[in-house]
Amino acid sequence: MHSALLAIDLFLVIEKLVLIIAIVSISLVIAMYETYAERKVAAFIQDRKGPNRAGPFGILQPLADGLKLFMKEEIIPNTSNRLLFILGPCLAMMAAMMTSAVIPWGGTLNVFGRPVTLQIADINIGILYVFGVVSMGVYGIMIGGWASNNKFSLMAALRGASQVISYELPMGLSLIALLMLTGSLKMSEIVAQQMDGWWNIIYQPLGFFIFLVCAFAECNRTPFDLPEAENELNFGYHQEYSSMKLGFYLFAEYINMFISSVVMATLFFGGYDVPFFNDAAHADWGNWLVALQGAVLLIKVCFFIFLFMWVRWTIPRFRYDQLMNLGWKGLIPLSLFNMVVTAAFVLWKSNGYKF
């Protein structure tokens, strides 16, 4: 017993704690400035200036918004379930943050002569972990909507639950086709395979399109923002929330958008792979190469975040029946077709034909 305790690598524990704090902090800062970017993108599309009062070019606006949320009065309705009312936004925030644990954020750093991998947990079921944690996010919506004891909130929560379930199915089916090609659920292995060959978007363009559409639905983004349809449900599932509990729900949406962008970049666009650049030939760059890889991943992620915002301010919201029809009658048959075609090609290749 004592020898097992002594065998614990203290440096590894410190390394993982520092990595967790760094990734959580970066995710929060990016989510905070996503709100600023969303307003600026909306302003550009609508031919106006956007936030420009708080600091130069309005860059302190997210801090002002955060301070405003902290200073607002904390209200819990008398007829609500107090415990679940508080638990809802916490669960939504926790589910959004936990997904980042299996993402490879870069290569291997050299810290005091010791290799440090920029991945919190390199588990061999990485994609399944992502799906499991993302599925938990719907409980935050459901619990918050039900505990509020408000009919509008409850209807929005039911919409959110049915939407997430409907679009998780084609998302999972689109990834089955990808897994047939990679043969691994491990995120680091999927990135390594893309670094040695072509990115998966070349082999799975239809799978990526299905995954992208489902990501919009999973993040409750326009045109799939039916749980927050203010013209139908006043304010959606967080109708009764105020102060930082409301802030948690809003933050969770932007963190989900960030993490969804990272997952798409990792699975289909090589992750931290630098395009048209031989990483192995420049291994002598050391930590500078790792910094370059992290910057490239961030650029890919910023593109997807911009895509989320661009679509939001361009396309109108679906009706709820259209939303369900697209999921069940459109994306699921399409993802099944993609899976069958991919299986046929994999079988063809395994029998010795060139592909």
Closest to 271 measured CA to CA, from 296, 244, 239: 296
**What confidence tier does 228 reach under pLDDT thresholds 50, 70, 90?**
low
For the stretch 265-319, pLDDT in tens is: 999 999 898 888 877 777 777 788 888 999 999 999 999 999 999 998 888 888 8
Q: How far apart are CA 39 and CA 180, in angstroms?
A: 40
pLDDT at 154: 85
pLDDT at 54: 86
206 pLDDT higher than 90: yes
Q: How far apart are CA 198 and CA 283, in angstroms?
A: 20
- Please tell me which residue, 345 or 239, carries the higher pLDDT value: 345
Q: What share of the chain is helix, strand, coil (3-state, %, to 5)?
A: 70, 0, 25
For the stretch 329-348, pLDDT in tens is: 999 999 999 999 999 988 88
Paired tokens of 6: 């002594």
Output Rg (C-alpha) for the chain, integer angstroms. Answer: 22
**What confidence tier does 354 reach under pLDDT thresholds 50, 70, 90?**
low
Paired tokens of 208: 């990526």
For the stretch 243-255, pLDDT in tens is: 888 888 888 889 9
For residues 318-325, give the mean pLDDT.
Answer: 85
Phi, psi torsion values for 98, nearest 5 degrees: -65, -25
Torsion of CA 35, 37, 42, 46, to 10 degrees: 140
How many helices and strands, by DSSP H and E, does the chain display?
A: 14, 2
For the stretch 29-51, pLDDT in tens is: 998 899 999 999 999 998 888 88
Phi, psi torsion values for 124, nearest 5 degrees: -85, 5
- Please tell me which residue, 276 or 177, carries the higher pLDDT value: 177
For residues 176-194, give the mean pLDDT.
Answer: 91
Query: Which amino acid would we find at residue 136?
Result: M
Paired tokens of 175: 């990834």
pLDDT at 9: 75
pLDDT at 260: 92
